């Protein structure tokens, strides 16, 4: 049995940068607070916790004073920065540059459509850290949609500006975009469709979206796919669905302990891949575990 790790898998630069900043700070001070899980991977969170990274939520942040707090790659809403100033908290801002740029675009769009009684719509997961940060740029007035059914919240007679959470599926974004265009035409009439305001912004990170075609290719090249990801990861769920669509022998695991030996045959080529929040060391650990399983079943000489 041959076990291959997807060379394109692993951290995106935003997550990698945040983890590097956290480790540098902990080397100096021995302890650091982080607002929310630094990455949607419990194994990596546990590793960093042992080094001194303490995860807190927004309510706990309000009670902290005179300390350092890391803002992870997902970014934060404006009220987090206000709390930090009030409580004399030094923020170690590891917000992904792509997310920060998107926050700025959402803020400008909100100011614009607010003057014309319009709506800012964000395609993303409600309650996701990045979406909370984006919604904060609109005074928490954006309409969050995840499915076609969620579009029932919109008024299609009013101007609409659409953005996407950076880690969502490109396919899903364009399905939402096309459905909005269709419903807007139905609501306003074909004659008025050209003048009805709809601004769709494909704000998906290209480092993330480019993983989809790679995942498409990789999942077809191997007999079995073992996809390693935290279950909280939106990107992980999206990429795993790409695997499953191409290869029914695709399996989702958080760590090597979840691997089932019955998934494999001696003649299989096994591909190991993961989300943009999956550390390479964890994929290597899963790969080695599968190789050890293979050796365990080899007949004695």
Cα dihedral 205, 206, 211, 212, rounded to 10, equals 90
Q: Which residues are catalytic?
A: 130
> Cα–Cα distance between 278 and 228 in angstroms, integer?
7
Nearest of 9, 28, 27 to residue 228 by alpha carbon: 9
3-state secondary structure 77-96: CHHHHHHHHHCCCEEEECCC
- Burial (CB < 10 A; 0-12, 13-18, 19+), residue 23, is middle
- Burial (CB < 10 A; 0-12, 13-18, 19+), residue 199, is middle
Q: Which domains does the chain have, with CATH numbers?
A: 2-10+209-296 (3.40.1010.20), 13-96 (3.40.50.11270), 98-204 (3.40.1010.20)
Write the CB contacts of 100 (distance below 8 Å, at least 6 apart in sequence): 75
The torsion region of residue 17 among left (phi > 0), alpha (psi -120 to 50) and beta comes to alpha
Cα dihedral 28, 31, 37, 40, rounded to 10, equals 50
Phi first, then psi, for residue 272 (nearest 5°) are: -110, 125
| pLDDT score recorded for residue 238 | 85
| pLDDT score recorded for residue 285 | 96
| pLDDT score recorded for residue 299 | 47
Residue with tokens 């695997």: 243
Residues of the chain with pLDDT under 50: 299-301
| pLDDT score recorded for residue 301 | 42
Q: What angle do CA 223, 226, 228 make, to 5 degrees?
A: 160
């Amino acid at each position: 049995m041959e076990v291959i790790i997807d060379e394109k898998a692993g951290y995106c630069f935003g997550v990698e940068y945040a983890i590097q900043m956290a480790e540098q700070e902990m080397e100096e001070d021995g302890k650091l607070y982080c607002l929310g899980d630094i990455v949607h991977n419990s194994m990596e969170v546990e590793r960093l916790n042992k080094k001194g990274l303490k995860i807190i939520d927004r309510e706990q942040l309000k009670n902290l004073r005179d300390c350092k707090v890391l803002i992870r790659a997902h970014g934060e809403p404006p009220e987090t920065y206000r709390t930090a100033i009030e409580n004399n908290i030094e923020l170690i801002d590891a917000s992904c540059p792509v997310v920060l740029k998107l926050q700025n675009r959402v803020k400008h769009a909100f100011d614009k459509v607010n003057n014309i009684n319009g709506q800012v719509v964000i395609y993303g997961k409600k309650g996701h850290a990045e979406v909370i940060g984006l919604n904060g740029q609109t005074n928490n007035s954006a309409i969050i949609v995840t499915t076609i059914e969620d579009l029932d919240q919109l008024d299609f007679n009013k101007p609409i500006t659409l953005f996407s959470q950076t880690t969502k599926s490109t396919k899903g974004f364009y399905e939402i975009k096309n459905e909005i265009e269709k419903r807007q035409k139905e609501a306003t009439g074909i004659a008025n469709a050209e003048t009805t305001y709809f601004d769709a912004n494909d704000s998906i990170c290209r480092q993330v979206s480019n993983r989809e075609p790679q995942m498409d290719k990789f999942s077809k090249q191997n007999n079995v796919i073992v996809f390693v990801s935290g279950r909280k990861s939106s990107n992980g769920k999206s990429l795993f669905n790409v695997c499953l669509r191409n290869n029914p022998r695709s399996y989702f695991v958080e760590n090597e302990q979840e691997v089932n030996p019955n998934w494999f045959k001696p003649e299989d080529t096994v591909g190991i891949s993961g989300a943009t929040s999956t550390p390479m060391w964890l994929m290597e650990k899963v790969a080695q575990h599968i190789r050890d399983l293979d050796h365990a079943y080899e007949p004695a000489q």
